[in-house]
Amino acid sequence: MTPPLASTIAEVLHPVVGGELPVRLKVWDGSEAGPFGAPVVRLNSPDAIRRLLWAPGELGAAQAYVTGELDVDGDLNAALEHLWKVVRDRELSGIRPTPAVLAGMGRIARAAGGLGTPPEPPASQARVKGKLHSLLRDRAAISHHYDLSNEFYGLILDPQMAYSSAYWTDSTETYGLEDAQRDKLDLVCRKIGLKPGMRLLDVGCGWGSLSLHAAQHYGADVVGVTLSREQKAFIDARIRDRGLEKTGFAGRGSQGTVEVRVQDYREIPDGPFDAVASLEMGEHVGQRNYPVYAAALFNNVVPGGRVLVQQMSRRGKHPGGGPFIESFIAPDMHMRPVGETLGFLEDAGLEVEGVEALRKDYVRTLEAWYANFEQNQEAAVDMMGEEIARVWRLYLVGALRSFAEGRMGVEQILCSRPPARS
């Protein structure tokens, strides 16, 4: 008699997970295994087994989750928090594809009727081609993530559409994400010493939160660059609504101007600027190209001018963030320890004036984004479809856990270009 599939899975995975299953497993054949009271994981289709067999670990599990072949009951964040605690408590370090484990996975696949060729990747998985960090490939990688839908991002972000860590200065209930993003934008503008009439270059300007804030509240004349046409269209509309166009500004008062371009950081023709800022864009330029990016920051600021880089950091393996992030969210991304980034900036000729860690701020930011997503989940599904919504739930929760548990950090690095000396 064939044993229940859930029991077979629990038996095969016993040496992999260091003991009893850390979850309550429920399989499509009606069998169950694992402790009661633990998070419930459902295998809804033999295709989930096929994916995990052909891509053991994070990628296969993510593919199965976004397609609905694997599901988690209740709060995904709480479930992943529980799983990471088990990993730490049992000192697990990932799936080791030993012959015994592979044989056991084969036995599970046979029992599930899941043998066969690898399933097709989900439609939401990124497909970028060409030479790594060429202009064309970078545009494709950025488009995959940032051209998804301005309206969709509006369901998650604050009204300023700031898509980087906020800066939380208050813990009262009346102080929220919009306040913390405003305080982050003010912090950046103060650090780079913005004053009316100064020219600011915003490298990787996103949906224009910093560019618009700097023009409206600090009187700066801003050039923002992005590779996303969707973002440019969004910012252009806000520029018109707020009267921040580059022309026709007689008597505009204390406001500055904003011009946004679809332009690569390697192609900016009209520097140097009085100040430069780049918020969570440097992760996308790649390891080999980071010296080129750092040189662009140096070359585009006047002697004595300040440069602020806000950037995520990561130690250990998976500098791209892991198989799921690299495959579904941000192809070709590269993060490194903050000390290595400081070396690149100094090698470009910049002087580092200060580093401020915002890891805990990013935890609160991601909690707010995740709450917004869950509150607007039905609208997200209606707008983008079930699969994209599942990708984003997994992304937001995975990022939240990475920052909460210290696997990733984010820092504001303030630099200056030394003044010219005779």
Residue that terminates a domain, selected from 112, 145, 178? 112
Q: Tell me what the mean pLDDT of segment 312-326 comes to.
A: 92
Let me know if residue 93 belongs to a domain: yes
Q: Are the C-beta atoms of residues 133 and 332 closer than 8 Å to each other?
A: yes
Which residues touch 413 (CB under 8 Å, ≥6 apart)?
308, 309, 310, 311, 338, 341, 342, 345, 352, 354, 355
Q: Tell me what the mean pLDDT of segment 262-267 comes to.
A: 96
Q: Tell me what the mean pLDDT of segment 9-21 comes to.
A: 90
Q: Could you write out the DSSP letters of every residue in 11-41?
A: HHHHHHHTSS-SSEEEETTS-EES-TTSPEE
* Angle formed at CA 168 by CA 410 and CA 360, multiple of 5 degrees: 40
The two tokens of residue 290 are: 């980071």
pLDDT tens, position by position, 385-398? 999 999 999 999 99
Give the pLDDT of residue 114.
61
- Predicted confidence band of residue 56 (pLDDT cuts 50, 70, 90): confident
Residue that terminates a domain, selected from 65, 97, 112? 112
Judge if 95 and 146 occupy the same domain. Answer: no
Give the pLDDT of residue 75.
94
Judge if 282 and 407 occupy the same domain. Answer: yes
Judge if 164 and 81 occupy the same domain. Answer: no
Give the pLDDT of residue 40.
98
Q: Are the C-beta atoms of residues 320 and 330 closer than 8 Å to each other?
A: yes
Q: Given phi > 0 = left and psi -120 to 50 = alpha, else beta, which region is 345?
A: alpha
Give burial (CB, 10 Å; 0-12/13-18/19+) of 406: exposed
Give burial (CB, 10 Å; 0-12/13-18/19+) of 306: buried
Judge if 102 and 152 occupy the same domain. Answer: no
Judge if 72 and 159 occupy the same domain. Answer: no
pLDDT greater than 70 at residue 250: no
pLDDT tens, position by position, 153-189? 999 999 999 999 999 999 999 999 999 999 999 999 9
For residue 356, how many other CB atoms are within 10 A of its CB? 15
Q: Could you write out the DSSP letters of every residue in 357-375?
A: E-HHHHHHHHHHHHHHHHH
Judge if 211 and 311 occupy the same domain. Answer: yes
Judge if 232 and 333 occupy the same domain. Answer: yes
Judge if 209 and 303 occupy the same domain. Answer: yes
Distance of CA 119 to CAs 44, 49, 92, 314, Å?
A: 15, 10, 28, 31
Judge if 82 and 194 occupy the same domain. Answer: no
pLDDT greater than 60 at residue 252: no
Give the pLDDT of residue 307.
98
What is the DSSP code (8-state) at residue 397?
H
Comparing 107 with 45, which gets the higher pLDDT? 45
Q: What are phi and psi of 127, to 5 degrees?
A: -135, 90
**pTM summary value:** 0.92
Let me know if residue 164 belongs to a domain: yes
Give the pLDDT of residue 319.
93
Poorest-pLDDT segment among 10-19, 236-245, 246-255: 246-255
- Predicted confidence band of residue 148 (pLDDT cuts 50, 70, 90): confident
pLDDT greater than 90 at residue 133: no
Q: What are phi and psi of 150, to 5 degrees?
A: -60, -40
Give the pLDDT of residue 2.
58
For residue 98, how many other CB atoms are within 10 A of its CB? 11
Let me know if residue 421 belongs to a domain: no
The rounded mean pLDDT for the chain is 92
- Among residues 80, 101, 89, the alpha carbon closest in space to that of 16 is found at 101
Q: At 281, which amino acid appears?
A: M
The two tokens of residue 222 are: 């801003």
End-to-end CA distance of the chain: 88
Let me know if residue 422 belongs to a domain: no
Judge if 146 and 80 occupy the same domain. Answer: no
Let me know if residue 31 belongs to a domain: yes
Judge if 104 and 156 occupy the same domain. Answer: no
Q: At 183, which amino acid appears?
A: D
How many domains does the chain divide into?
A: 2
Residue that terminates a domain, selected from 80, 112, 144? 112
Domain that holds residue 28: 5-112
Give the pLDDT of residue 135.
76
The two tokens of residue 69 are: 């072949």
Percent above pLDDT 70 for the chain: 96
Q: Distance between CA 345 and CA 341 in Å, rounded? A: 6
For residue 28, how many other CB atoms are within 10 A of its CB? 15
Q: Position of tokens 């590779």?
A: 227
Give the pLDDT of residue 175.
97
CATH number of the CATH domain containing 311: 3.40.50.150
Q: Tell me what the mean pLDDT of segment 342-358 comes to.
A: 98
pLDDT tens, position by position, 217-234? 999 999 999 999 999 999
Q: What are phi and psi of 254, to 5 degrees?
A: -90, 0
- Among residues 234, 185, 181, 225, the alpha carbon closest in space to that of 204 is found at 225
Helices (H), 193-289: 209-218, 229-242
Let me know if residue 128 belongs to a domain: no
